[in-house]
Amino acid sequence: MNSRSSDEAPSGICTCCGDQCEGMLVDEGIGSYEYWGAKGVHHDWVCVSRCCEAPIAEEGGIVVNIFTTHVAKKKHKNCAGRICIKPGEKYVKHYRRSWYIDEYGNRKGVVCIEKQKMQHPLKCAH
């Protein structure tokens, strides 16, 4: 997929993660082709989000956006199945609930829960 930067790409709500994002134009065309001896290049420029490369909804909003800190009681694995947070380590849990209006006018909800290990935990001076 080719991409190009353009001022005409809108910002809005990512339909995958529900975060507010900037759009970018991506070429999802088939590229070079030949049809009955006629050669050409097919372009299909689509606006997608920069974060997930998912479609962008121009209407929507974030309803809940909460960050909390925790101490892990068990192992937490990432999408690839690797352990990213070990027991006893501090991590930040980000809970985000948002909504958007799809191309058919239906209201859709997105819930995103992310956990990230604290890089430099705060230390108490006693």
Q: DSSP for 27-92?
A: E-S-EEEEETTEEEEE--EEEEETTT--BEESSEEEEEEEEEEEE-SS-EE-TTS-EEE-TT-EEE
Task: Find the range with the poorest average confidence among 21-25, 59-63, 90-94, 114-118.
Answer: 59-63
Q: What is the pLDDT of residues 21-52, one digit of tens each?
A: 888 888 888 888 888 988 888 888 888 888 88
Q: For the residues 87-113, what does the mean pLDDT come to?
A: 81
Which pLDDT belongs to residue 125? 47
Q: For the residues 72-89, what does the mean pLDDT come to?
A: 80
- Choose between 66 and 121: higher pLDDT: 66
Burial environment of residue 13 by CB neighbours within 10 A (0 to 12, 13 to 18, 19 or more): buried
Which pLDDT belongs to residue 80? 67
